[in-house]
A and B are shown apart, each in its own frame.
Chain A
């Protein structure tokens, strides 16, 4: 199958053979794809290599056969995004999250849009932690593991802003006491649902919650990027 001008981002590139790259791309209409880019490394190919860096909106011409696609052409779309410092590290985290949680060739237009939006937010230096939480929420939603952020798990009641909850991945938000481990305020869950940034305490609780959820969906593994992000201090 030939794909023309497919909107895509490179998530990761690794050297392949002498002068080629094996790319992991997120495409709009075909989800995550493994793409072989031939002859783009080495001294004479510097131009193409620079185009195939992550965080750059691309239009790819691809030849899709079986598991892997072959790159026939790549065009840069729009201005290059500049993710400096902490935002660049956050971008690497996004990419690891997408690669680890999505399957290849599983079309996710919603995820693609969420990813593009998140990169734009990072490039605009919006608060990193909140930008990541929003993306995690949208990613989980897109791959069918959306969080239950409005209803209580036990019973039909709506989440109460003043109550405290423990989030169980399979059941949802279960009421608990304020001091319980991993307790999060109802108001913070609602804030995530409504796309409003909670206060500092809420952000810490949501970060903890998301890690647990992601760890569960990874099958108990860790993300490497967590350790990288743990080593840097936020600049804000």
Chain B
């Protein structure tokens, strides 16, 4: 490769997930050969986003304003607060459910070996919010991993201390799944958490 700029562009593109040397090269050539205008747009968007997106002061989700749209809006249910590990989880819940309450993003889970404790997850901030009296139910949507479960336990205690009812996402067999192929842990959870069939 002769062009220094070109090779540095390819190197820079490799920071994206799933992009190796070959894909990075394809992307770079594509932008240079066919789509310079949109390449510039991409550069602008990247710069803007990297410099201006911070965290919402209330829910810690990504936001370029001090308060994100979800927190600032008045149409959402202030009595419900859902705790998630990451903004990706928040997006997944938004897309899959009709949930209309608020969120709190931990940006991680309690994990001593990763250096993540209560301070790093902003739990003091969450405790304060629970103490304000507005929230009635804390929906704990951390991942069903060992660390996520430990975090859920911690959060549930936090909620009870603030007089808030904690709830946890149910575990179970995936829709369309077959029991034969479900791993033992999930099956044990699903079996232990079985529900009565008498829906009203």
Contacts and interface: CB of A to CB of B under 8 A. Distances in A.
Interface of A: 11-12, 14, 18, 24, 46-47, 50-51, 53-56, 76, 79-80, 82-86, 88-89, 91-93, 95-96, 99, 223-225, 227-228, 231-233
Given A47-B183, A92-B111, A227-B117, A232 B154 contact: yes
Given A51-B183, A231-B118, A231-B154, A88 B113 contact: no
5 pairs of A and B residues whose beta carbons are closest in the complex = A224-B112, A225-B112, A85-B153, A96-B112, A88-B150
A228 B146 contact: no
Given A53-B145, A56-B185, A79-B184, A89 B154 contact: yes
Contacts of A47: 181, 183
Interface string B135-148: 00000000001110
Contacts of B147: 92
A92 B153 contact: no
B154 A228 contact: yes
18 contacts: A12-B114, A18-B17, A24-B113, A50-B185, A55-B146, A84-B149, A84-B153, A88-B153, A89-B154, A92-B111, A92-B146, A92-B147, A95-B112, A228-B118, A228-B150, A228-B154, A231-B154, A232-B154
Nearest to B110: A228
B118 A80 contact: no
A45 to B, nearest CB: 11
Contacts of A83: 146
A110 B191 CA distance: 35
Nearest to A48: B183
B73 interface: no
A89 B184 contact: no
Contact of A54 (B118, B123, B146, B183): B146
A224 B117 contact: yes
B24 to A, nearest CB: 14
Contacts of B149: 84, 88
A92 B185 contact: no
A4 to B, nearest CB: 22
Given A84-B153, A92-B111, 7 more contacts: A12-B114, A80-B184, A91-B146, A92-B147, A95-B113, A227-B119, A232-B157
Nearest to A85: B153
Contacts of B145: 53
A227 B123 CA distance: 12
B111 to A, nearest CB: 7
B53 interface: no
B185 A89 contact: no
Given A79-B184, A228-B154, A18 B18 contact: yes
Nearest to B160: A233
Given A84-B149, A92-B147, A99-B113, A53 B185 contact: yes
